[in-house]
Amino acid sequence: MRIVAGAALVLLLITVPPVLGEFQVFLLTQSLIWGIFALSMGLLLGYLGQINLGQAAFVAMAAYISTVLRIQGGLSFWLAAPITLLATVFIAMTVGLVTLRLRGPYFVLVMLGFGEVVRLVIANWQDVTGGMVGLRGIAAPEPLLFLHFDTRLSFYYLVLATTVAATLGLLGLIRSRSGRVLVAIREDEVLAEFTGAPIMRSKVTALAISAFIAGLGGLLIGPFLSVLSPNQFSVFASVDMIVMVVVGGAGTLIGPLLGAVFLTYVPEAFGFLRDIRPILMGGLLIAVTLFLPGGLLGIFALFGGKPRRPLEAVPEHAR
């Protein structure tokens, strides 16, 4: 049933865009890229039970490393991508080995600091990153075999393929042995450790996978916007991801994707409110937390949907 619904949704996302206008394809692409970011946050928030205010730094690193490798190193997108992902995952593991030992608010604070450090390094490393002005004129990914990505529509398909792959990959992780152990650690870390779970290894692995997913989105954001600047990756970007996860429904995979779509289209419809976007995001987060702890997915459950399985239940502290 779920497989059929998922396949139908993907089929819709493949067949409908060609008849949509250029701008609609742009919005759809934007939703999906943010959906990838939200998925990466969803893994931490929903399955590790940890908020990460430095998540945007992983996106920023992937975006900048790949773009610099292309512009200054002359590498193709497809060669830069694996190098970039490897570097992002390595940095995430190194950071995680230190920060994941910290509990509760201390992890959040140190990761917030990490995010700001990365942003400031990017803003001040003029020769490489272009400083506050940023990098401009980022080209679409080079053709791969017979596939071209230089139109809005073809690039959209690349993003869609990445989103589907990321979702399926995370689904596999969550259903695997490691995913179940993560849920156990989220539910009760001490008990999980005494039943034999290697806590640090599991957490560092989860952060590395989360950074990998964030990096996938980071690879795409440069060619998508054609410009990169450090202000795109402030703490507000991480907060946006958190809001997407919570609004969509934490502890699921479809929730973050749904939240990303919602938070791309709704502000677009109320374009005149753009100046107060951070306030709206904060207000939305409070409202959803108070009145709709299951997120948008919780609404479906209210209307007679099948009750959510305990493994997908929202962790106490993510409510």
Partner 1 sequence: MRADAPLLTVSGLSKRFNGVHAVSEVSFTVASGEILGLIGPNGAGKTTTFNLISGLFPPTAGSVALAGQILTGLRPDQVAAAGLSRTFQGTRTFPKLTVAENLRIPFLARSRVGVWASWSGRGAGRALNASVARGVAEILDFTGLTLHADVPAESMPYARQSLLGIGLALAGLPQLLLLDEPFAGMNPGETMEAARMVRRIRDRGTTVLLVEHDMHAVMSICDRIVVLDGGRKLIEGTPDIVRRDPKVIEAYLGTDADA
Task: Kindly state whether residue 301 participates in binding partner 1, applying the rule CB under 8 A.
Answer: no
Q: List CB contacts of 274: < 8 A, sequence separation 6 or more.
A: 267
Q: List CB contacts of 144: < 8 A, sequence separation 6 or more.
A: 78
Pick from 10, 139, 187, 293 the residue near partner 1 by CB under 8 A. 187
Task: Kindly state whether residue 225 participates in binding partner 1, applying the rule CB under 8 A.
Answer: no
Task: Kindly state whether residue 307 participates in binding partner 1, applying the rule CB under 8 A.
Answer: no
What are 49's two structure tokens?
């039970």
Least distance to partner 1, CB of residue 200, Å:
9
d(CA 215, CA 92): 10
d(CA 267, CA 24): 14
CB 241 within 8 A of CB 41: yes
Pick from 199, 227, 235, 285 the residue near partner 1 by CB under 8 A. 199
Task: Kindly state whether residue 317 participates in binding partner 1, applying the rule CB under 8 A.
Answer: no
d(CA 312, CA 319): 13
Task: Kindly state whether residue 194 participates in binding partner 1, applying the rule CB under 8 A.
Answer: yes
How many C-beta atoms surround the C-beta of residue 221 within 10 A?
25
Pick from 7, 72, 120, 175 the residue near partner 1 by CB under 8 A. 175
Task: Kindly state whether residue 97 participates in binding partner 1, applying the rule CB under 8 A.
Answer: no
Nearer to partner 1 (CB atom), residue 181 or residue 281: 181
Task: Kindly state whether residue 93 participates in binding partner 1, applying the rule CB under 8 A.
Answer: no
Task: Kindly state whether residue 172 participates in binding partner 1, applying the rule CB under 8 A.
Answer: yes
Nearer to partner 1 (CB atom), residue 190 or residue 269: 190
Task: Kindly state whether residue 260 participates in binding partner 1, applying the rule CB under 8 A.
Answer: no
How many C-beta atoms surround the C-beta of residue 200 within 10 A?
12
Task: Kindly state whether residue 101 participates in binding partner 1, applying the rule CB under 8 A.
Answer: no
Task: Kindly state whether residue 75 participates in binding partner 1, applying the rule CB under 8 A.
Answer: no
* Selection from 61, 114, 50 nearest residue 84 by Cα: 61
Task: Kindly state whether residue 177 participates in binding partner 1, applying the rule CB under 8 A.
Answer: yes
d(CA 309, CA 313): 7
How many C-beta atoms surround the C-beta of residue 279 within 10 A?
10
Report the site for partner 1 in 129-168 (rule: CB under 8 A): none
Q: Of 212-220, 240-248, 266-274, 309-317, which part binds partner 1 (CB under 8 A)?
A: 309-317
Task: Kindly state whether residue 229 participates in binding partner 1, applying the rule CB under 8 A.
Answer: no
Least distance to partner 1, CB of residue 319, Å:
12
DSSP for residue 234: S
Question: What are the CA-CA distances from residue 216 to residues 192, 228, 230, 283, 304 (Å)?
Answer: 31, 16, 18, 29, 36
Least distance to partner 1, CB of residue 197, Å:
4
Q: Of 15-23, 39-47, 144-152, 174-182, which part binds partner 1 (CB under 8 A)?
A: 174-182
CB 49 within 8 A of CB 253: no
Pick from 126, 195, 226, 231 the residue near partner 1 by CB under 8 A. 195
Task: Kindly state whether residue 319 participates in binding partner 1, applying the rule CB under 8 A.
Answer: no
Nearer to partner 1 (CB atom), residue 13 or residue 93: 93
DSSP for residue 133: T
Nearer to partner 1 (CB atom), residue 181 or residue 263: 181
CB 64 within 8 A of CB 129: yes
Query: Bridge partners of 228?
Result: 135
* Residues of this chain that bind partner 1 (CB under 8 A): 172-173, 175-178, 180-181, 183-184, 187-188, 190-199, 310-311, 313
